[in-house]
Amino acid sequence: MAMVQPRNLKYRVWAARLCMILLLCLVMFPFLMIVSVSFRSGNFATGSLIPENPSLEHWALVLGIPWEAADGTIMQPTFPVLTWLWNSIKVSLITSALILALSTTGAYAFARLRFRFKDHLLTMMMILQMFPAVLALVAFHAFFNKLGNFIPWLGLNTHAALIVSYLGGITMNIWLIKGYFQSIDNALEESAAIDGATPWQAFRYILLPLSVPILAVVFILAFITTIGEYPIASVLLQGADQLTLAVGAKQFLYAQNYLWGDFAAAAVLTGLPITIIFLVAQRYLVSGLTAGGVKG
């Protein structure tokens, strides 16, 4: 560090540290509070950050286990949280797999094959991803409402409809994968082609195995986006057992049925794994994104 240091550096560092700690308190407050609330008994209990008499009642209820209160009454779980979590995971996994399949094949064509309107299509995708799906909610609702008359398993309130409607979210991923493909030298594929490999074989047996990192990135990216998606899911899903977590979680906090403690347990239970996936994936995400982005 060859920098010229001001004399009052020490005070400045301590001032910065103090600011930082105050700010971190503000940032961490909601998280610590929600963990604390999830162990309090009752839904309106107040208390300090560390509960005086911790209770597992909310955790039991969220996990679907009836809970016997101190006075002997049995509390039944209000919402099928585990079903919602399973719905979310199911929808997200299938969606991510489909998005991966669609965007890899698409990206392959854009990176390696020659065809008309290629550049136009790429620009079009760039522009289209600026319009969020939330603006077309009416259209999604009407579309699946009508489609359900002809194909019942694709109508409103089905997971299939939700999964299918998420397939529009592939534009950014195509760009990502395409950038990565272009960063791989195509000499291998060319020599395979000379040996008689079809474009499909070159893609399947040479390019794909080389691109596992970006495929993982896209899969995780799609998974995180889908599991937190709220607008479309809230319009398409209606039945209590069909909801995803993002839509269902809201029901804990209706004014007439305020289940703050149960919500806290559900939030920790479901938020924690997603957060960990994100934090772990983030490192790879950044490296994957830059690897693709540079040559894009």
Partner 1 sequence: MTTPADAKGLLSGNGLKWALVALIDTALLYIIAGMYAQGEILFALTLLVLTGLGTWIFTSQKAYSYRYVYPCLLGIILFIIFPLLYTFNIAFTNYGSANILTLERVKEIHLEQQVRDSEVAFGLALYQNDDNYQLVLTDKSNKQAIYTTSSFVPAEQATEVSATAGNAAAGKKLSMRDVIKQRSALGMVTVTMDDGSRLVMTSLREFGVMTPLYREGDDHTLINNQTGEIIRPDMTTGFYVNEAGEQLPPGFSVYVGMENFERLIEDDGIRQPFIKIFIWTLVFAGLTVAFTAAIGLLLATLVQWEPLRERGVYRVLLILPYAVPAFISILIFKGLFNQNFGEINMILEGLFGIRPEWFTDPFLAKAMILIVNTWLGYPYMMIICMGLLKAIPDDLYEASAIDGASPIHNLLYITLPNLVKPLTPILIASFAFNFNNFVLINLLTDGGPMMSGTSTLAGNTDILVSFTFRTAFIAGQDFGLASAIATLIFLIVGFISWVNLRATRNLQEH
If the CB atoms of residues 191 and 275 are measured against partner 1, the closer one turns out to be 275
If the CB atoms of residues 69 and 139 are measured against partner 1, the closer one turns out to be 139
Q: How far is the CB of 174 from partner 1 (least distance, A)?
A: 6
Q: How far is the CB of 175 from partner 1 (least distance, A)?
A: 11
If the CB atoms of residues 101 and 240 are measured against partner 1, the closer one turns out to be 101
Q: How far is the CB of 163 from partner 1 (least distance, A)?
A: 11
Q: How far is the CB of 72 from partner 1 (least distance, A)?
A: 25
What does the alpha-carbon distance between residue 256 and residue 27 come to, in Å, rounded to a whole number? 29
If the CB atoms of residues 133 and 291 are measured against partner 1, the closer one turns out to be 133
CA proximity to 268, closest of 43, 34, 25, 29: 34
Q: How far is the CB of 8 from partner 1 (least distance, A)?
A: 11
Q: How far is the CB of 69 from partner 1 (least distance, A)?
A: 19
- How many whole angstroms from its chain centre is CA 148? 27
If the CB atoms of residues 56 and 164 are measured against partner 1, the closer one turns out to be 164
CB atoms closer than 10 angstroms to residue 87: 23
If the CB atoms of residues 30 and 64 are measured against partner 1, the closer one turns out to be 30
Q: How far is the CB of 262 from partner 1 (least distance, A)?
A: 11
If the CB atoms of residues 13 and 65 are measured against partner 1, the closer one turns out to be 13
